[in-house]
Amino acid sequence: MRYQTVRDIIGHSKSLHQKLGEFYRSLEDKAEMERVKMLLSYLARHEQQIEESLTRYSLDASQNLWDEWFQFAPDDHVEDLVRDLTFKADGDIDEVVKLALAVDDYFIELYRKLAANASSSKVKQLFENLVAMEELEKTRTVRSALELNDM
């Protein structure tokens, strides 16, 4: 098990969200259906907004919180998650939603594990807040996809 600071873990998440935004933009360029392109564009913006939220977290939190060491650190690399995600150019909205939900579930599970293994109540609260943020974003993604299907 690797040791990292909370700052390192949040940096890992920010990096992953940036890579996911780039991934969704690359899929948008390849997608054939206009509604699918719209959803992928939304998802790319969504990842950028989460990355910005994580930056705000890091600016607002106390230095002590960010420098706290954490024994349970993610061993995954950004490339691993993105590499495992697949999508065909002729894919439909349902396939994009399945892909996006897999990403959201990854972060929800990661932050739950981190919260469960937190060494202080402040760190636990940080990761519980991130679970809530990811769950909200998951709901928004589904809602946006349903709206596109209704168009």
Whole-angstrom Cα distance, residue 145 to residue 143? 5
Instruction: Give the best-scoring range by mean pLDDT among 60-64, 117-121, 130-134.
Output: 130-134
Residues 6+ away with beta carbon under 8 Å from 17: 47, 48, 50, 51, 54
> pTM here?
0.84
Whole-angstrom Cα distance, residue 44 to residue 48? 6
Spatial contact of 11 and 74, defined as CB atoms under 8 Å apart: no
Spatial contact of 96 and 43, defined as CB atoms under 8 Å apart: yes
Spatial contact of 106 and 81, defined as CB atoms under 8 Å apart: yes
Cβ neighbour number for residue 76 with a 10 Å cutoff? 12
- Surface-to-core class of residue 58, CB atoms within 10 Å of its CB (0-12 exposed, 13-18 middle, 19+ buried): middle
* Tens-digit pLDDT profile for residues 53-89: 888 877 776 667 777 787 766 665 555 666 666 667 6
- For residue 1, name the pLDDT band (cuts at 50, 70, 90): very low
- Surface-to-core class of residue 113, CB atoms within 10 Å of its CB (0-12 exposed, 13-18 middle, 19+ buried): middle
Tokens of 29: 């360029």
Whether residue 113 has pLDDT greater than 50:
yes
